[in-house]
Homo-oligomer: A and B are copies of this chain.
Protein backbone atom coordinates (compact mmCIF):
# COMPACT_ATOMS: atom_id res chain seq x y z
CA UNK A 1 0.00 0.00 0.00
CA UNK A 2 1.32 3.42 -0.94
CA UNK A 3 -0.33 5.19 1.97
CA UNK A 4 2.24 4.22 4.57
CA UNK A 5 5.85 3.04 4.67
CA UNK A 6 6.97 -0.50 5.49
CA UNK A 7 8.32 0.63 8.82
CA UNK A 8 4.98 2.20 9.72
CA UNK A 9 3.22 -1.01 8.65
CA UNK A 10 5.39 -2.97 11.03
CA UNK A 11 4.70 -0.63 13.93
CA UNK A 12 0.97 -1.10 13.32
CA UNK A 13 1.27 -4.89 13.16
CA UNK A 14 3.16 -4.89 16.45
CA UNK A 15 0.62 -2.59 18.10
CA UNK A 16 -2.23 -4.89 16.98
CA UNK A 17 -0.56 -7.92 18.51
CA UNK A 18 -0.73 -6.66 22.07
CA UNK A 19 -4.07 -7.79 23.51
CA UNK A 20 -4.81 -7.25 27.20
CA UNK A 21 -7.82 -7.76 29.49
CA UNK A 22 -10.05 -4.86 30.49
CA UNK A 23 -13.24 -4.35 32.50
CA UNK A 24 -14.38 -1.56 30.18
CA UNK A 25 -17.09 -1.95 27.53
CA UNK A 26 -15.55 -3.29 24.32
CA UNK A 27 -16.88 -2.80 20.78
CA UNK A 28 -15.96 -6.05 19.10
CA UNK A 29 -16.46 -4.75 15.55
CA UNK A 30 -14.10 -1.87 16.15
CA UNK A 31 -11.41 -3.96 17.85
CA UNK A 32 -11.24 -5.92 14.56
CA UNK A 33 -9.93 -2.90 12.66
CA UNK A 34 -8.16 -1.09 15.48
CA UNK A 35 -4.94 0.66 14.35
CA UNK A 36 -5.38 -0.55 10.74
CA UNK A 37 -4.92 1.79 7.80
CA UNK A 38 -8.24 2.53 6.06
CA UNK A 39 -7.07 4.14 2.82
CA UNK A 40 -8.67 7.36 1.51
CA UNK A 41 -7.77 9.26 -1.69
CA UNK A 42 -4.35 8.58 -3.21
CA UNK A 43 -2.14 8.77 -0.11
CA UNK A 44 -4.46 9.46 2.82
CA UNK A 45 -5.94 7.26 5.49
CA UNK A 46 -8.06 6.98 8.62
CA UNK A 47 -6.90 4.82 11.53
CA UNK A 48 -8.92 4.22 14.69
CA UNK A 49 -6.38 4.50 17.53
CA UNK A 50 -8.70 4.38 20.54
CA UNK A 51 -12.34 4.59 21.58
CA UNK A 52 -14.45 4.80 24.73
CA UNK A 53 -17.89 3.26 25.12
CA UNK A 54 -20.36 1.49 22.87
CA UNK A 55 -24.14 1.56 22.29
CA UNK A 56 -24.81 0.31 25.80
CA UNK A 57 -22.65 3.07 27.31
CA UNK A 58 -25.02 5.64 25.80
CA UNK A 59 -27.99 3.94 27.39
CA UNK A 60 -26.13 3.58 30.68
CA UNK A 61 -25.36 7.31 30.76
CA UNK A 62 -28.92 8.26 29.84
CA UNK A 63 -30.10 6.17 32.81
CA UNK A 64 -27.24 7.26 35.14
CA UNK A 65 -27.07 3.57 36.07
CA UNK A 66 -24.85 1.67 38.49
CA UNK A 67 -24.12 -1.44 36.45
CA UNK A 68 -24.05 -2.20 32.76
CA UNK A 69 -27.38 -1.90 30.99
CA UNK A 70 -29.05 -5.27 31.59
CA UNK A 71 -32.15 -4.46 29.61
CA UNK A 72 -33.15 -6.02 26.28
CA UNK A 73 -31.42 -4.92 23.08
CA UNK A 74 -34.81 -3.81 21.73
CA UNK A 75 -35.31 -1.51 24.73
CA UNK A 76 -31.84 -0.03 24.24
CA UNK A 77 -32.65 0.45 20.59
CA UNK A 78 -35.91 2.25 21.34
CA UNK A 79 -34.19 4.52 23.83
CA UNK A 80 -31.40 5.40 21.39
CA UNK A 81 -33.92 6.20 18.69
CA UNK A 82 -35.95 8.30 21.08
CA UNK A 83 -32.89 10.25 22.26
CA UNK A 84 -31.74 10.99 18.73
CA UNK A 85 -35.21 11.90 17.46
CA UNK A 86 -35.77 14.37 20.29
CA UNK A 87 -32.31 15.94 20.23
CA UNK A 88 -31.33 14.64 23.67
CA UNK A 89 -27.71 14.88 22.70
CA UNK A 90 -25.85 14.52 26.00
CA UNK A 91 -25.83 10.70 26.21
CA UNK A 92 -24.11 10.55 22.81
CA UNK A 93 -21.37 12.80 24.18
CA UNK A 94 -20.50 9.95 26.55
CA UNK A 95 -18.86 7.85 23.83
CA UNK A 96 -15.55 9.01 22.38
CA UNK A 97 -13.30 8.05 19.46
CA UNK A 98 -9.72 8.91 18.52
CA UNK A 99 -8.56 8.77 14.91
CA UNK A 100 -5.19 9.15 13.22
CA UNK A 101 -5.90 10.83 9.90
CA UNK A 102 -3.69 11.72 6.95
CA UNK A 103 -5.24 14.17 4.51
CA UNK A 104 -4.37 17.03 2.11
CA UNK A 105 -3.93 20.40 3.80
CA UNK A 106 -6.99 21.89 2.07
CA UNK A 107 -9.08 19.07 3.55
CA UNK A 108 -7.54 19.65 6.98
CA UNK A 109 -8.58 23.29 6.70
CA UNK A 110 -12.25 22.34 6.29
CA UNK A 111 -12.05 19.62 8.93
CA UNK A 112 -10.62 21.89 11.65
CA UNK A 113 -13.72 24.08 11.48
CA UNK A 114 -15.40 21.46 13.67
CA UNK A 115 -14.21 22.95 16.93
CA UNK A 116 -15.67 20.47 19.37
CA UNK A 117 -12.77 18.06 18.93
CA UNK A 118 -9.18 17.64 20.11
CA UNK A 119 -6.31 17.81 17.65
CA UNK A 120 -2.59 17.13 17.60
CA UNK A 121 -1.17 17.88 14.17
CA UNK A 122 2.19 16.81 12.80
CA UNK A 123 4.36 19.93 13.03
CA UNK A 124 6.14 21.23 9.92
CA UNK A 125 8.00 23.63 12.22
CA UNK A 126 9.52 20.61 13.92
CA UNK A 127 9.84 18.03 11.11
CA UNK A 128 10.19 17.92 7.34
CA UNK A 129 7.10 16.93 5.41
CA UNK A 130 7.22 13.99 2.97
CA UNK A 131 6.93 14.30 -0.79
CA UNK A 132 3.26 13.35 -0.77
CA UNK A 133 0.57 15.39 -2.43
CA UNK A 134 -2.94 14.76 -3.61
CA UNK A 135 -3.71 14.53 -7.32
CA UNK A 136 -7.39 13.92 -8.09
CA UNK A 137 -8.45 10.89 -10.13
CA UNK A 138 -9.54 11.86 -13.64
CA UNK A 139 -13.21 11.27 -12.85
CA UNK A 140 -12.97 13.86 -10.07
CA UNK A 141 -11.74 16.65 -12.34
CA UNK A 142 -14.98 18.56 -12.57
CA UNK A 143 -15.78 22.02 -13.85
CA UNK A 144 -17.37 24.72 -11.73
CA UNK A 145 -21.06 24.03 -11.21
CA UNK A 146 -23.34 26.46 -13.02
CA UNK A 147 -26.19 26.27 -10.48
CA UNK A 148 -24.09 26.09 -7.35
CA UNK A 149 -21.60 28.87 -6.60
CA UNK A 150 -19.58 26.51 -4.41
CA UNK A 151 -19.77 23.10 -6.05
CA UNK A 152 -18.69 21.01 -9.00
CA UNK A 153 -20.48 20.42 -12.25
CA UNK A 154 -19.58 18.14 -15.15
CA UNK A 155 -16.32 16.28 -15.45
CA UNK A 156 -13.94 18.08 -17.82
CA UNK A 157 -12.90 16.55 -21.13
CA UNK A 158 -9.97 14.19 -21.53
CA UNK A 159 -7.71 16.84 -23.08
CA UNK A 160 -8.36 19.37 -20.33
CA UNK A 161 -7.96 16.64 -17.69
CA UNK A 162 -4.48 15.85 -18.98
CA UNK A 163 -3.62 19.55 -18.90
CA UNK A 164 -4.89 19.87 -15.32
CA UNK A 165 -3.05 16.81 -14.05
CA UNK A 166 0.20 17.99 -15.64
CA UNK A 167 -0.01 21.38 -13.93
CA UNK A 168 -0.93 19.98 -10.53
CA UNK A 169 1.78 17.33 -10.61
CA UNK A 170 4.57 19.48 -12.02
CA UNK A 171 3.89 22.38 -9.67
CA UNK A 172 3.76 20.16 -6.58
CA UNK A 173 6.95 18.33 -7.60
CA UNK A 174 8.79 21.54 -8.34
CA UNK A 175 7.61 23.26 -5.18
CA UNK A 176 8.69 20.26 -3.12
CA UNK A 177 12.11 20.26 -4.83
CA UNK A 178 12.39 23.94 -3.95
CA UNK A 179 11.21 23.25 -0.39
CA UNK A 180 14.18 20.89 0.05
CA UNK A 181 16.41 23.42 -1.67
CA UNK A 182 15.29 26.17 0.74
CA UNK A 183 16.03 23.81 3.63
CA UNK A 184 19.38 23.07 1.97
CA UNK A 185 18.56 19.36 2.22
CA UNK A 186 18.59 16.54 -0.26
CA UNK A 187 15.98 13.77 -0.26
CA UNK A 188 17.95 11.81 2.39
CA UNK A 189 18.22 14.72 4.78
CA UNK A 190 21.85 15.52 3.89
CA UNK A 191 23.11 19.05 3.35
CA UNK A 192 22.97 20.12 -0.25
CA UNK A 193 25.45 22.94 -0.19
CA UNK A 194 27.98 23.36 2.62
CA UNK A 195 28.15 27.08 1.93
CA UNK A 196 24.47 27.69 2.80
CA UNK A 197 22.74 27.64 6.18
CA UNK A 198 19.34 26.48 4.98
CA UNK A 199 16.08 28.23 5.77
CA UNK A 200 14.18 27.41 8.99
CA UNK A 201 11.53 24.71 8.53
CA UNK A 202 8.77 27.05 9.72
CA UNK A 203 9.56 29.33 6.76
CA UNK A 204 10.43 26.83 4.03
CA UNK A 205 7.06 25.08 4.38
CA UNK A 206 5.25 28.09 2.96
CA UNK A 207 6.45 27.07 -0.50
CA UNK A 208 4.33 23.91 -0.42
CA UNK A 209 0.95 23.78 -2.13
CA UNK A 210 -2.36 23.10 -0.41
CA UNK A 211 -2.59 19.54 -1.73
CA UNK A 212 0.37 18.31 0.32
CA UNK A 213 -0.53 15.78 2.96
CA UNK A 214 -0.51 16.50 6.66
CA UNK A 215 -1.67 14.26 9.48
CA UNK A 216 -3.13 14.51 12.94
CA UNK A 217 -4.62 12.72 15.88
CA UNK A 218 -8.25 13.77 16.13
CA UNK A 219 -10.55 12.92 19.01
CA UNK A 220 -14.21 13.72 19.37
CA UNK A 221 -17.37 12.44 21.03
CA UNK A 222 -20.12 10.58 19.21
CA UNK A 223 -22.50 13.55 19.23
CA UNK A 224 -19.97 15.79 17.54
CA UNK A 225 -18.89 12.98 15.23
CA UNK A 226 -22.48 12.77 14.00
CA UNK A 227 -22.52 16.54 13.42
CA UNK A 228 -19.33 16.16 11.40
CA UNK A 229 -20.76 13.27 9.40
CA UNK A 230 -24.09 14.94 8.76
CA UNK A 231 -22.31 17.91 7.17
CA UNK A 232 -19.36 16.15 5.55
CA UNK A 233 -21.05 13.02 4.20
CA UNK A 234 -23.61 15.30 2.58
CA UNK A 235 -23.62 15.52 -1.24
CA UNK A 236 -22.94 19.28 -0.94
CA UNK A 237 -19.64 18.68 0.87
CA UNK A 238 -16.51 18.79 -1.27
CA UNK A 239 -15.75 15.31 -2.62
CA UNK A 240 -12.33 15.07 -0.96
CA UNK A 241 -13.59 15.51 2.61
CA UNK A 242 -16.63 13.40 1.79
CA UNK A 243 -14.31 10.52 0.97
CA UNK A 244 -13.08 10.65 4.58
CA UNK A 245 -16.61 10.99 5.95
CA UNK A 246 -17.70 7.85 4.07
CA UNK A 247 -14.90 5.82 5.63
CA UNK A 248 -15.72 7.18 9.08
CA UNK A 249 -19.41 6.35 8.59
CA UNK A 250 -18.34 2.75 8.18
CA UNK A 251 -16.17 3.01 11.30
CA UNK A 252 -19.20 4.32 13.18
CA UNK A 253 -21.31 1.39 11.96
CA UNK A 254 -18.76 -1.06 13.38
CA UNK A 255 -18.49 0.86 16.64
CA UNK A 256 -22.10 1.66 17.61
CA UNK A 257 -24.39 -0.26 15.24
CA UNK A 258 -27.66 0.74 16.95
CA UNK A 259 -26.79 4.42 17.02
CA UNK A 260 -25.62 4.19 13.42
CA UNK A 261 -29.00 2.91 12.26
CA UNK A 262 -30.83 5.57 14.26
CA UNK A 263 -28.52 8.21 12.80
CA UNK A 264 -29.26 7.07 9.22
CA UNK A 265 -32.97 7.09 9.95
CA UNK A 266 -33.28 10.36 11.90
CA UNK A 267 -30.53 12.46 10.36
CA UNK A 268 -29.10 11.27 7.05
CA UNK A 269 -32.42 10.17 5.53
CA UNK A 270 -34.59 12.72 7.35
CA UNK A 271 -36.05 15.85 5.77
CA UNK A 272 -37.05 19.10 7.43
CA UNK A 273 -39.91 21.30 6.22
CA UNK A 274 -40.25 24.97 7.17
CA UNK A 275 -43.49 26.48 8.48
CA UNK A 276 -44.54 27.48 4.96
CA UNK A 277 -43.52 24.15 3.50
CA UNK A 278 -45.58 22.34 6.15
CA UNK A 279 -48.63 24.41 5.26
CA UNK A 280 -48.17 23.59 1.57
CA UNK A 281 -47.66 19.93 2.42
CA UNK A 282 -50.85 19.72 4.47
CA UNK A 283 -52.81 21.23 1.58
CA UNK A 284 -51.30 18.70 -0.80
CA UNK A 285 -52.21 15.87 1.56
CA UNK A 286 -55.76 17.23 1.61
CA UNK A 287 -55.80 16.76 -2.16
CA UNK A 288 -55.15 20.33 -3.31
CA UNK A 289 -52.80 21.15 -6.14
CA UNK A 290 -50.30 23.66 -4.80
CA UNK A 291 -48.18 25.79 -7.13
CA UNK A 292 -45.29 28.12 -6.33
CA UNK A 293 -47.52 31.18 -6.61
CA UNK A 294 -49.80 29.78 -3.88
CA UNK A 295 -46.92 30.14 -1.41
CA UNK A 296 -44.58 32.92 -0.43
CA UNK A 297 -41.47 30.75 -0.79
CA UNK A 298 -38.57 32.04 -2.88
CA UNK A 299 -37.92 30.17 -6.14
CA UNK A 300 -35.00 28.42 -4.48
CA UNK A 301 -37.04 27.29 -1.47
CA UNK A 302 -39.80 26.04 -3.75
CA UNK A 303 -37.30 23.98 -5.75
CA UNK A 304 -35.79 22.55 -2.56
CA UNK A 305 -39.30 21.71 -1.33
CA UNK A 306 -40.16 19.83 -4.53
CA UNK A 307 -36.83 18.01 -4.50
CA UNK A 308 -37.52 16.70 -0.99
CA UNK A 309 -40.83 15.34 -2.24
CA UNK A 310 -39.19 13.70 -5.23
CA UNK A 311 -41.14 15.93 -7.61
CA UNK A 312 -38.20 16.95 -9.82
Could you list which residues of chain A lie within 8 angstroms of chain B, going by C-beta atoms?
4, 8, 10-12, 14-16, 18-26, 31, 34-35, 49-53, 57, 60-62, 64-68, 70, 78, 81-82, 85, 87, 90-91, 93-94, 96, 98, 100, 104-106, 108-109, 112-113, 115, 118-123, 125-126, 134, 136, 140-145, 149-154, 156-157, 160, 163-164, 167-168, 171, 174-175, 178, 181-183, 196-203, 205-211, 215-217, 219, 221, 231, 238, 264-266, 268-278, 281-282, 284-285, 298, 300-301, 304, 308-310
Contact = CB atoms under 8 A, between A and B. Distances in A.
B264 A275 contact: yes
Contacts of A10: 67
Contact of A269 (B142, B197, B274, B310): B274
Contacts of A22: 19-22, 24, 26, 31
A202 B265 contact: no
25 contacts: A19-B21, A21-B22, A24-B50, A49-B60, A61-B217, A62-B120, A81-B298, A87-B231, A90-B113, A94-B98, A105-B109, A112-B113, A113-B119, A115-B115, A118-B221, A125-B238, A142-B200, A145-B200, A151-B200, A153-B197, A175-B175, A219-B221, A270-B273, A270-B275, A270-B277
A214 B196 CA distance: 32
Nearest to A221: B118
Contacts of A285: 284-285, 309
B66 A4 contact: yes
Given A152-B203, A270-B278, 9 more contacts: A22-B31, A51-B52, A85-B304, A123-B150, A141-B199, A150-B202, A164-B182, A202-B238, A270-B274
A279 to B, nearest CB: 9
B274 A273 contact: no
Number of copies: 4
A143 B94 contact: no
Contact of A219 (B93, B115, B167, B198): B93
A56 to B, nearest CB: 11
A86 to B, nearest CB: 8
A273 B273 CA distance: 8
A23 B12 contact: no
B61 A120 contact: yes
Contact of A19 (B23, B265, B276): B23
